[in-house]
A and B are shown apart, each in its own frame.
Chain A
Amino acid sequence: MTCTDSDLAELAKRAESIRETVIEMLVAAKSGHTAGSLGMADIFSAFYFHIINHNPQDPDWEGRDRLILSNGHICPVRYAAMAQAGYFPVEECFTLRKFGSRLQGHPERLRLPGLETTSGPLGDGLPQAAGIATAFRMNGTKQRVYCVMGDGEQDEGIIWEAVMFAGKNKLHNLTAVMDRNNIQIDGMTEDVMPLEPIAEKYRAFNWHVLEVNGNDIYAFITAVEEAKAIYEKPTLIIAHTIPGKGVPDIEFDYHWHGKSPTVEEGKKFLKEIRTLGGRVPHEYA
């Protein structure tokens, strides 16, 4: 899969637009998870507009790749990307978390076609992704399975059960992406429950591990391409992202893990996103 400079410019623009939608929908919802959603906008732009083989007009198309979101709480970024990809009208994003909405506070497969599964309770995504990957391999189909997960959720024991299984069974059609933004609800991951050396841990479980700047779309796409070429192991891409990316006011601040901007804050954040083009100030230096 080639990725030209103009593709990258498009994807960056799309990520900015996803960030705008995320801010707008969180302001409207009055609750939700801001930091992780903004931090993962570049990766979701890459997934929905470049990487995965899918058809928004036919969400149940059997031949599609599967994108499992394990840390369901960052669903605003997935909803925003899906809406922009054409799964549903962008206006519907503003029903997020409201009564009767298909856009539940945590994603529910049966309510919204294209979600692939129901998620939120942490740790459950990776085993489901491994189950899908195993079924694909049994069927002899070439589809790939991607699983986005948080770094905080690595605390869950079930993650390591799934990591062991995927390593043992050499699930090369499975690529996991860890949003390594170093924050969780009670603070920094290394304070709450240290994960490092996380790459070495996965390698010890027979995974191929790559580390990239998760806010660098080209680097991420390159890593995904490399994962496809690894036939002996599942791959983990540790995507180092900036929580709150694109809004300098809240970047790196774990307090923004689980809260949404007020109307006033929303206006300010949108302005920041538009001014900076999704980049943080030091990137200009």
Chain B
Amino acid sequence: MLNAGAHLGVKVFADDIPKAPTRDGFGLGTVEIAKTNPRIIVLCADLAESTRAEWFQKEFPERFIEMGIAEQNMAAFAAGMALAGKIPYIASYAAFSPGRNYEQIRTTIALNRVPVKVCGMHAGVSVGPDGATHQMLEDIGMMRMLPGMTVIVPGDAEEARKAVIAAAAIDGPVYIRFGRAATPVFTTTETPFQAGKALILFDSETPRVAILSTGTQSYAALEAAHALSRGGMESIVLHVPTVKPLDAEAVLEIARRVGRIITVEEHQVAGGFGSAVAEFLAENHPVPIHRIGVTDQFGQSGEPEQLLTHYGLDASHIEEAAKIFVANSMKL
């Protein structure tokens, strides 16, 4: 059943659930936080419209900086602004930031421990027709390896807005990952969000499996849990928007309660969210784990839903994978 404490939208399982891309949350969140925090600056690299930096530009033109197509300069420049007291949000596609400017992020932002908020847009295969070059699938892994870096992957546009606002209060570097496609907005303004905290979306007293998911995949996980429940298999969905620091307490509690974990992410399974969960549980409470994500391959052109289906990231794949995983792990 849905966790009432998550205050999910009334239309959560309806066909007409409202949809919006998580990048909208970037535009809304930066405008909102800048109204009360004069240190907020937004920088973008010739992608103002598609990153939604344009929304900020319209409200705060004097605090918006156009860097041109120069992501390396944008990262190091933002570090300089932070050294002079600003809180810069840098927006570009994740394939280029952190994809292209990783060294600048590592040296001038992370090692320097300055409060630059790296906002990677158009992550995952759901970018769609642009194809593999623009479908970033390695960013969570890259960023979670950096000491002191907080990594947040919001589940929907509303949570993205909250994450953008919360990032300003974190005294250090933050990576926030956003998507291009309009995806279901399943949370509400009432849904709790706190950096570093996971949230149970779907709960059961007799769970056979726990689905831990991050980003917009949490909605697919939720749909899968709903379908499993109707088919007689109970599960728990733990939405983990903050990949780093991982909510160790919540993950451990779920592992103890359920003893069988599936992870879901729109990212390579190597090094990403599932790896973070697997690493943690291997050392603290080993249980059978099945990771769902992209398996050592690049994306390709197509419509977002086609691609999510092709790479096994849609709700029906998660549902099937859960059934097989439960059946197989029973044999252990």
Q: Please list the residues of chain A having a beta carbon within 8 angstroms of any beta carbon in chain B.
A: 66, 68, 108-110, 116-121, 123-124, 127-136, 138-139, 157-158, 161-162, 164-165
State in angstroms the CA–CA spacing of A136 and B84 once bound together: 7
- CB-contacts of B78-135 with A (<8 A): 78-86, 88, 103-104, 107-108, 111-113
Say yes or no: is B5 at the interface (Cβ < 8 Å to chain A): no
Say yes or no: is B227 at the interface (Cβ < 8 Å to chain A): no
Whole-angstrom distance between the Cβ of A259 and the nearest chain B Cβ:
24
Indicate with 1 or 0, residue by residue over B26-54, a CB within 8 angstroms of chain A CB atoms. 00000000000000000000000000000
Say yes or no: is B329 at the interface (Cβ < 8 Å to chain A): no
A157 near B72: Cβ-Cβ < 8 Å: yes
State in angstroms the CA–CA spacing of A66 and B80 once bound together: 11
Say yes or no: is B77 at the interface (Cβ < 8 Å to chain A): yes
Query: Which residues of A lie under 8 Å from residue B79 when comparing CB positions?
Result: 117, 127-128, 131
A131 near B83: Cβ-Cβ < 8 Å: yes
State in angstroms the CA–CA spacing of A66 and B84 once bound together: 10
Query: With A128-B76, A128-B80, A131-B84 as given contacts, are A161 and B112 in contact (CB-CB < 8 Å)?
Result: no
Tell which of A117, A130, A135 touches B108, judged by Cβ atoms closer than 8 Å. Answer: A117
Say yes or no: is B249 at the interface (Cβ < 8 Å to chain A): no
A121 near B72: Cβ-Cβ < 8 Å: no
Whole-angstrom distance between the Cβ of B299 and the nearest chain A Cβ:
27
A124 near B108: Cβ-Cβ < 8 Å: yes
Q: What range describes how many residues of B lie at the interface?
A: 20 to 34
A124 near B68: Cβ-Cβ < 8 Å: no
Say yes or no: is B15 at the interface (Cβ < 8 Å to chain A): no
Say yes or no: is B65 at the interface (Cβ < 8 Å to chain A): yes
- CB-contacts of B59-85 with A (<8 A): 62-63, 65, 67-68, 70, 72-73, 75-85
B103 near A134: Cβ-Cβ < 8 Å: no
Secondary structure at the A interface, as helix, strand, loop or mixed, is helix
State in angstroms the CA–CA spacing of A165 and B113 once bound together: 24
State in angstroms the CA–CA spacing of A30 and B82 once bound together: 35
- Chain A, residue nearest B81 (CB): A131
Q: List 21 A-B contacts (CB under 8 A).
A: A110-B113, A118-B112, A121-B104, A127-B108, A128-B77, A128-B83, A130-B73, A130-B80, A131-B83, A131-B88, A132-B80, A134-B77, A135-B81, A135-B85, A136-B84, A139-B84, A139-B85, A158-B73, A161-B72, A162-B77, A165-B70
Q: Quick one: which of A118, A139, A162, A164 has the most chain B CB within 10 A?
A: A118
A138 near B62: Cβ-Cβ < 8 Å: yes
Query: With A120-B107, A135-B85 as given contacts, are A127 and B77 in contact (CB-CB < 8 Å)?
Result: yes
Lowest 3 A-B CB distances belong to which pairs? A131-B80, A135-B84, A161-B73
B83 near A116: Cβ-Cβ < 8 Å: yes
A132 near B70: Cβ-Cβ < 8 Å: no
Query: Which residues of B lie under 8 Å from residue A68 when comparing CB positions?
Result: 80
- Chain B, residue nearest A164 (CB): B68
Query: With A161-B70, A164-B68, A165-B70 as given contacts, are A131 and B104 in contact (CB-CB < 8 Å)?
Result: no
- Chain A, residue nearest B116 (CB): A131
State in angstroms the CA–CA spacing of A2 and B29 once bound together: 50
Query: Which residues of A lie under 8 Å from residue B72 when comparing CB positions?
Result: 123, 127, 157-158, 161
A165 near B68: Cβ-Cβ < 8 Å: yes
